[in-house]
Chain A
Amino acid sequence: MQMVGSRKSGSDTLSTVLLGASMAIMAIGFYLALAAPPDQQQGWLVRIMYVHVPAAWVGYLAFFTTLLFSVLYLIKNNPRYDRIAAASTELGLVFLALAIFSGALWGRPTWGVYWTWEPRLTTTAILFAVYVGYFVLRSAIEDPELRAKAAAAVGILGAINVPISYMSVKWWRSIHQTQSIDLTTGKVHMAPEMLVAMLVNVVAFSLLFFAYLRLRSALAAREAEALNE
């Protein structure tokens, strides 16, 4: 058994299983998304939701993972945790960028604009900027220990914005629709066929995130090892 981010955990069995499972579930999710009925108001445009919501969810999941491993790094002082936190942040940025991109393309036909400074979009933009700053900071500090500590601080403080961004659609009602699945109340505002298609895609994207996290952390471990040689 190897820990995520350890030297030997590159293309191990668990990563392969996670990759395979996520691809298979993603194929099912893709089919369900195309088979789901059109929305009463948005018509077939609602299909964007089946990739937009999972991408945004994985962005949140990634930044929560960053928070977790940043805290672990500060407690245990183990560089593996720093590598996992950095890998998770990179993944979070990739998926959040995709959520912003798909959201903008969804916004144009439904709202009439690609972008507007309403609360959800603004808090998401801040979230994105903070984690870009995470990497700017990392590249600016040469000492590995100081770099890891500073990055952990940003990883922890930046995560404060995750629940704010999630709740922004409820706290400050604006143009962005409220959550289809409200995690605070457990209420679902969606037709069952749409819900199944979206949940399958959320599961697929989440599994893919964990597979990529293992790969990216293992790669970081190898790069660190090569630097020390």
Chain B
Amino acid sequence: MNSFNAILQDPTNPFVVWVYVGIYGSVLGYGLYLLWRMSRRKNR
């Protein structure tokens, strides 16, 4: 649990940063995937 305790104290700890990357990356990635499918459908 020591590494987890570090997260609680340190604002620059990469753990939360990776959670953010995962969430925002997935949300925006899904949008890009939709736009890609839309453009593919349009070009047919």
B-contacting residues, A95-119, CB 8 Å: 95, 98, 101-102, 105-106, 108-109, 112
Tell me if A127 counts as interface (CB < 8 A to partner B). Answer: no
B23 touches A94 (CB 8 A): no
Stretch in contact with the other chain, from A148-156, A169-177, A185-193, A218-226: A218-226
Contacts of A30 in B (CB 8 A): 20, 24
A43 touches B34 (CB 8 A): no
Question: What is the bound-complex CA distance between A205 and B30, given in angstroms?
Answer: 13
Question: What is the bound-complex CA distance between A112 and B5, given in angstroms?
Answer: 11
What are the interface flags for B12-42 relative to A under an 8 Å C-beta threshold, 1 for contact and 0 otherwise? Answer: 0101100110111011001100110110011
Main secondary structure of the interface of A (DSSP, over half): helix
B38 touches A45 (CB 8 A): no
Question: What is the bound-complex CA distance between A212 and B35, given in angstroms?
Answer: 9
B30 touches A223 (CB 8 A): no
CB contact under 8 A between A98 and B23, given known A44-B8, A108-B4, A109-B7: yes
CB contact under 8 A between A44 and B7, given known A10-B38, A222-B41, A223-B41: yes
Chain B residues within 8 Å of chain A by Cβ, number = 27
Minimum C-beta distance from B21 to chain A (A): 10
Minimum C-beta distance from B27 to chain A (A): 7
Q: Interface size bucket, A side? A: 35 or more
Question: What is the bound-complex CA distance between A55 and B22, given in angstroms?
Answer: 12
Minimum C-beta distance from A108 to chain B (A): 7
Contacts of A202 in B (CB 8 A): none
Contact surface of B with A, Cβ cutoff 8 Å: 1, 4-5, 7-11, 13, 15-16, 19-20, 22-24, 26-27, 30-31, 34-35, 37-38, 41-42, 44
Given A105-B19, A109-B5, A109-B8, list of 18 further CB < 8 A pairs? Answer: A10-B42, A11-B38, A30-B20, A43-B9, A44-B9, A48-B19, A51-B19, A51-B23, A102-B22, A105-B15, A108-B4, A109-B7, A208-B27, A208-B31, A215-B34, A216-B34, A219-B34, A223-B41
Contact surface of A with B, Cβ cutoff 8 Å: 10-11, 19, 26, 30, 38, 42-45, 47-48, 51, 55, 94-95, 98, 101-102, 105-106, 108-109, 112, 205, 208, 211-212, 215-216, 218-219, 222-223, 226
